[in-house]
Chains A and B, each alone.
Chain A
Amino acid sequence: MIRRETEKMKRVTRLVSTVVLAATVAMPLAASAADRSVKVLGWGAKSGPLKSFGVNSEAALRSAIAQINAAGGVKLGDGSSAPLEVVSYEDSACKKDQNIAILRKTASTTDAIVGMGATCSGSCQAMFGVLQKKVGDATDSGVQMPILSDTCIRPGLAKISEWAFRNVPNEVAMYDKLFAWLRSENPDVKTFSGGTETDQGHSFITHTAIIVQAAVRHGFEWVGPSVPELGPKVKQGMKELQAAAKTQHWLMGDTNYSVQARKIKKQNPDMILVSSHPFSACGFLKEMKRRNVKPKLLVGLTSSASQETLNGCMNAAEGLIIPTGFAPITPEAVSANEIVSKAGGFLDLHSAAAWENAYLVKTAVEKAGISATSDTVAEDRRKFRDALASISGSVGLIGPVTRDGATGEASKPYVYVQVVNGEWKVIHDPR
């Protein structure tokens, strides 16, 4: 009897010991899984005249990540789930040196697996230049950190480094299709001219390398200063156009557009291109209105398809047509627009890309199977980069987005919007 009781006690003791031991071993593991998060770090212009870009992108990124986390976060390589965490969203003020400094700090002092955002094309170009050009190149000591941009829109930037990725519209395709459509819809519009701001890389390059050539390609006749080299191919006659038309261009901070408006008025074009950010676009549009310049068509720069343009010159911009990668035309886009508005931001073609990027990060993390521990940061970054490069398509807010892993670029759906009675209206949906 006593012996049986003793045996029973021993069994119970063994069982309890086993349970305690198992719990002791398992508890730290369970705790570390619960504590893990997949860290990302964002930056953009949160001060200076382009502050709205950074503020809107941050609001969109944080809102989308909150939605992802509310739905269970992301799956890690070991099958557990972890939340996405925005470590911080820094202010790079659209300055090259600040962009590079934030990149280096993020790469060396944080566990973030990807840097997101970065507002201006010029500062992105400089920042991409300090990344390692080819993955795995032991002779290249460049920074090995994946960057996923939502705003740096100037064509071809992501090819600078295999660590650079963008989710920005393809302006070559957008303007090509836009002018094809305008050609078919407006057979009476035959001639065109226009101006741009020369101190903003995106505006200047897009105008002189893409937009003007796209208009020529679809049969519109350039009636600005003579440029014999101008042709239908992208960049054809770009340098010559930049030199010849410099008296009808302006700077972003200009306050007097009288010479430019008179020159263009004198050319009497049917269509006028205003390839400029909201402030200077508004200044020029107002000057044209004062001088009674009334073209049949007004075409603007993608970056001006925003609330800022309406704030600045709702009346003068009436009729302005712009291709854009975002409009609240799908249930997902409407919902995202409302969420971001509540978070204090506006959703436009740039900030909508920040929203989409959060979901792209989720997809890439789950595809990469990362560990998300402080010991595996470098390995996780590499796995994440490779996964991002291998993604050939994702779901965007207004439709499917295709991705080219080799170039790091995206091909996004777009629509054409126009200022009608002081509001942006979708006038054509080529999706």
Chain B
Amino acid sequence: MDDFWFEFVEITQSIGDGFLFGSTYALIGIGFTLIFGAMGKLNVAYAATAMAGAYSSLAIYILFDASLVIIFIVSAICAAILGYLVYLACFRFIPVHNHLAALMASVGGLFFIDEVIVHATRGSPLNFPSMFSEAYFEVGPYGIRGDLLFVFFIGLISTGVLLYVLFRTRLGLATRAVAQQDVAARLCGMGIHSTNSTTFAVAGLLGGIAGAMTAAAVGILSPVMMLPLTIKGLIVTVIGGLGSIPGAIIAGLFVGSFENVVMYFRGIDERDMYVVALLFIFLVFRPNGLFGKTITRD
């Protein structure tokens, strides 16, 4: 009985840890899905933009000994600017219907940003200031990391603000209009490119916060984080349903928990295999994800 109870605690603790850490996946997933929802295209460079924002904020921290609040704001602003630049470089001048070219351009953007960071830092891991790193709450047999709780709540607030912008402001109305029917939106006087570029900047803002929070949660920044976060973000986007913000949130939390449970039982060799298998299952049996628009088969 003791063993059962112990295992139960360990498993639920794994789920809880993964759930909280999954909020960083959710934020990255929201960025992917926001851009996909607006343009119907994947911006693979999104996670790299988010991490680049975090690197920029770290530079400010080192140079000016800035506070954590400033770090988060700088990360968000830098990622927004980078998001806009990625739009200009990888999407703005590529024909609207050439999805493959835009996808490949954003893949190039990912590797370009990655290499710029590697060259600037020599690939060396850098210490990132943690928030509430000493805060560790013990509730009965369970332990909860204070900094991950903070990440979780910041994630919730960011998502709330994003949803407000999307559904209660003119910018959100324009974004949704362009996403639904770009020709009609243009006829109504909405600028396609200005709306898309603003969407990239807004997604970048969110990404910057996600990047800084991920770095703060891990306590380190390194270019090796870039590709795994990109892959996790894409998986979350597909499982949540391309274009669905609630879907990205739920999928992010779910993937975080799922991979931690697999890690607990099956170990590192099989963890990512099961996560990718989950993606495969969704693509085959529920291609529209948890909340995405219905995709019909030919």
Contacts and interface: CB of A to CB of B under 8 A. Distances in A.
Contact of B125 (A251, A260, A279, A290): A279
Interface residues of A, number: 41
Contacts of A52: 122-124
Given A255-B228, A259-B17, A291-B136, A49 B223 contact: yes
A238 to B, nearest CB: 15
A82 interface: no
A51 B123 contact: yes
Contact of B267 (A249, A307, A313): A249
Given A249-B267, A250-B268, A256-B17, A278 B228 contact: no
A311 B264 contact: no
Interface string A28-63: 000000000000000001011111100100000000
B268 A312 contact: no
A289 B21 CA distance: 17
Contact of B264 (A55, A247, A253, A280): A247
Nearest to B130: A286
A259 B14 contact: yes
Contacts of B124: 52, 278, 307-308, 311-312
User: Residue among A47, A279, A282, A283 with the most chain B CB within 10 A?
Assistant: A279
A296 interface: no
Given A48-B123, A256-B260, A312 B267 contact: no
B268 A247 contact: yes
Contacts of B21: 255-256, 258
User: Residue among B21, B24, B130, B224 with the most chain A CB within 10 A?
Assistant: B224
A47 B267 CA distance: 30
A312 B126 contact: yes
Interface in B253-271: 256, 259-260, 263-270
A256 B262 CA distance: 13
B145 interface: yes
A47 B14 contact: no
Interface in B207-235: 214, 217-220, 222-225, 227-229
Contacts of B145: 258, 290
Nearest to B122: A52
Interface in B105-126: 115, 118-119, 122-126
B225 A255 contact: yes
Main secondary structure of the interface of B (DSSP, over half): helix
What is the size category of the interface that chain B forms with chain A? 35 or more
Contacts of B263: 247, 259-260
Contacts of B256: 256
A198 B263 CA distance: 13
Contact of A247 (B223, B225, B266, B272): B266
B228 A253 contact: yes
B160 interface: no
A47 B114 CA distance: 10
Contacts of B130: 286
Interface string B272-293: 1000000000000000000000
B179 to A, nearest CB: 31
A283 B219 contact: yes
Contacts of A49: 118, 123, 222-224
Contacts, number: 124
B220 A283 contact: yes
A289 B17 CA distance: 16
A48 B123 CA distance: 7
B133 interface: yes
A429 interface: no
A286 B220 contact: yes
A262 B255 CA distance: 20
Contact of A253 (B14, B214, B227, B267): B227
B125 A246 contact: no
A258 B268 contact: no
A259 B119 contact: no
Contact of B260 (A258, A286, A307): A258
Contacts of B220: 279, 282-283, 286, 312-313
A228 B123 CA distance: 40
Contact of A255 (B127, B217, B266): B217
Interface in B174-211: none
A252 interface: yes
Contact of A290 (B14, B133, B214, B223): B133
B269 A311 contact: no
Nearest to B218: A255
A311 B224 contact: no
Nearest to A308: B124
A254 interface: yes
Given A51-B119, A290-B133, A314 B17 contact: no
Interface of A: 45, 47-52, 55, 198, 246-247, 249-256, 258-260, 262, 266, 278-280, 282-283, 286, 289-292, 307-308, 311-314, 316
Given A49-B223, A51-B119, A262-B10, 5 more contacts: A47-B119, A52-B122, A259-B260, A282-B127, A312-B125
14 contacts: A50-B123, A51-B118, A52-B124, A247-B265, A247-B267, A251-B272, A255-B24, A255-B229, A256-B260, A280-B224, A290-B133, A290-B136, A291-B143, A312-B124
